[in-house]
Structure formats: structure tokens, C-alpha cells
Amino acid sequence: MALQTDIDLGVVARGPKGEDGKSAYQVWLDQGNNGSEADFLKAIQGKVGKDGQSAYQEWLAAGNQGTEANFLASLKGEPGQPGKDGAQGPAGKGFNIVKTYPSVAEMNAQFASDNIAEGDFVAIASKNGAEDPENAQVYMRSGNSMKFIVDLSGATGIQGPVGKTGQTGATYQPYIAEDGNWHVKLVTLD
């Protein structure tokens, strides 16, 4: 099947040009106002308001007495009471491998009789080393079982089979053509 070198997507890139809207000055005139643009600008400008009282002046007006320093000091509250100390939590355990096993099966068979405590970590140290997928796995006692935590081996995974070669791809680039529609043209055939 031959690839098309130019495809009309049939989508108009631009709509028709709209009419220019009226200026704010023209809308003002249409509302029955008369005058120049300078008159219009004066008409939309509000009057300057009176300066309000400062927070200090409001404080005095509320019946307080003193200097601005007294006013500023009045804004600062007294320190609060210290909160109560919380209950002490249980002591944490550091990360420590308390036992190693040659396999997961042996760990599961022996950990209860080996006095592995709740939260203790154990590791698998296989005789086959990196060739054994269980090697360097870390477990933690959780209740009556050992819970897998992490594999520290960093072992390389098995390489999968080589895949089939994919089909040759094409690259198209969008553009707006003279007809006003979006098109895409063939740029490269990889």
C-alpha cells in the first residue's frame, strides 16, 4: 500500500473574520451621553475618597489611650501555656539481620524454633549465590509468619527473546494549506 504524501484532514483552520466591536467611548455615546473622549474618560473616573483613619486612630476612638508603641504592644497576645507531653512510644528497633537461612523453605520450617522475635529481620543466604532467585531476600517476622520485605540482590533478570522487526514508519508534519484546511504532508519514510 502506497503512502499518501499529502492528506487533507477536512478541518477548517480558521473561522470567518468577525465584525469589529464598538469602543467603550462609542457605547457611552450610544447611551445618550455627549462629549469628547476626554469627557468620557473623566466620566468613568471615580471621585477621590477621604483618607480613612489609621488602625492606631481607630484604637484611640475605641476608648484606648497611649502612644503608637502602646497600640502595637496591645496587638501582641500573651504566650500560651505549654502543651502536655505525649505518651512515650515503644522503643524502635534498628535494622539488624538476626539470622540467615539457606532457603525460604528452611526459614519457614525453623524460624519459630529459632526464637525470631516480632519485628526481627532475617535474610536468605543461598549456597548458589546470585544464581538462586531467593538469594539476598529480606523477611521480617510479623505475627506467626515471615513477611517478605525486599530483595537486596540486584540480580540481573533473564533476557527475553529477540522481538520481530517492526514495520517501516512514516513521519507526517501538519500545516495549513492554501485552501484554509489543516493538511499533513509526508516528511520522512523511516
Cell digits for 155? 540480580
Name the least confident of 12-16, 96-100, 169-173: 12-16
Q: Is 139 exposed, middle or buried (0-12, 13-18, 19+ CB in 10 A)?
A: buried
The three-state secondary structure class of 8 is strand
Tell how strand 181-189 and strand 170-176 pair up: antiparallel
Q: What's the average model confidence in pLDDT over 28-49? A: 90
Element (H, E) at 185: strand 181-189
* Spatial CB neighbours of 121, under 8 Å, sequence gap ≥ 6: 95, 96, 97, 98, 138, 139, 140, 149
Other CB atoms closer than 10 Å to residue 136's CB: what's the count? 18
The reported pTM is 0.36
Tell how strand 121-124 and strand 137-142 pair up: antiparallel
Q: Has residue 45 got a pLDDT over 60?
A: yes
CA distances from 101 to 53, 108, 144, 145 (A): 81, 9, 17, 15
Most confidently modeled of 87-96, 134-143, 150-159? 134-143
Nearest in space to 133 (alpha carbons), one of 120, 124, 142, 144: 124
